[in-house]
A = this chain, B = another copy of it.
């Protein structure tokens, strides 16, 4: 008997029809003799609706009360799914985050799972109940409800799979797997049968939006077998594991991220310590910096540019404007009409020609590169937003066999 964790997002349970369909998938898995733990998100737009209700009342509600409010969303979807499974004649229990034993830290709105107290879960599974667990939520040690932040249901699923030593953690989505690029932009994009945790991490953080990054980190850490699979069609998805064997592609995907702003601090004195001041100040405000580029010093000054997520751009600019005297710089400039386009693949590190091929493909497509960043398994370039579609296609054509 295998133990399978299945996670369904908000779209997959958005109405009675979709819930009944999910119930069918779950009970089919159960009737094959598997133990099944299901993680659900709130229905469709419930979370947004609840946020709107709160905004009407208080523009800055406490994060504690937001967590109480939002966690009601999964409580609704999980009980409805349980009822649909009852209708199909299988034994089922729905459990809130705290009932399922999710203990988190006290960081409301962005809590991290500390541990899962498994007694209740194991008891229900021992009774051969299908267990539905509310994703995205837990309880801190003050007995207050916490949420894991957006996309947290993926993390809930992987954490459960790790704690219960599940044989498989299936993430059901409206896409049928991980593609080499967004098929809406790149017509030749191919579905991958397998991808490594590291590749998936780079793709996720680069805007591929299939899986939440924290869930993949956790899957890698605890070696959880994951699979991204369609909730609409019954066909193979993409497996995420430590080492892939099926495909020998140099790169696994081309990703685009529009959630990026470039900030430039111009004419900083070309002396030691200035970069440190900038980035330690940003770190103190918990502003994550991605690509960093420093111009070669000229006439005693240099320009320092970096990218942040668009959420943080105003805070970053304000912060640095306030430090102008300390930094002795001329201007703090911000540009957000840009995209980050990246290639991801475990083969990149051992294939020094990859970068050259990428840049050549972009040059042939007349796409200007503003900044470059590389890691073991990815190469990212910053380009004008309006060039990003053709850049994706050009790079994809270069690397992925048609």
A94 at interface by CB-CB < 8 Å: yes
B53 with A65: CB separation less than 8 A:
no
A87 and B57 contact, CB distance less than 8 A? yes
Interface string of A36-79 (1 = CB under 8 A from B): 00000000000000100110111001101110110111011011
**Which of B72, B87, B144 contacts A58, CB < 8 Å?**
B87
Interface string of A131-147 (1 = CB under 8 A from B): 00000000000011100
Dominant SS among interface residues on chain A: helix
Specify which chain B residues have a CB less than 8 angstroms from the CB of A20 in the assembled complex: 57
Contact of A75 among B69, B79, B83, B143 (CB under 8 A): B69
Q: Within 8 Å of chain B (Cβ to Cβ): is A16?
A: yes
Q: Is the CB of B68 within 8 A of A78?
A: yes
Residue of B nearest to A68 (CB): B79
Indicate if A211 sits at the interface (CB-CB under 8 A).
no
**How far apart are A96's CB and chain B's nearest CB, in angstroms?**
8
In contact, B58 and A84 (Cβ under 8 angstroms): yes
Q: Are B83 and A58 in contact (CB under 8 A)?
A: yes
Structural contact, B86 and A75, CB atoms closer than 8 A = no
Min C-beta distance of A131 to chain B, whole Å: 13
Determine the chain B residues whose CB is within 8 A of the CB of A120 once the complex forms. Answer: 143
Contact of A53 among B16, B64, B87 (CB under 8 A): B16
Residues on B with beta carbons closer than 8 Å to the beta carbon of A195:
none
The interface residues of chain B lying within 8 Å CB-to-CB of A71 are 75
Q: In the bound complex, how far is the Cα of B135 from the Cα of A374, in angstroms? A: 55
With the chains together, A115 CA to B181 CA distance in Å?
58
Q: Is the CB of B65 within 8 A of A69?
A: no
Contacts A64-B93, A99-B143 hold; do A54 and B83 have CB atoms under 8 A apart? yes
Assuming the A-B contacts A16-B56, A19-B57, A57-B20, are A66 and B86 also in contact, with contact meaning beta carbons closer than 8 angstroms in the complex? Answer: no
- 5 example contacts (A-B, Cβ-Cβ < 8 A) are as follows A54-B80, A58-B83, A69-B76, A69-B83, A96-B145
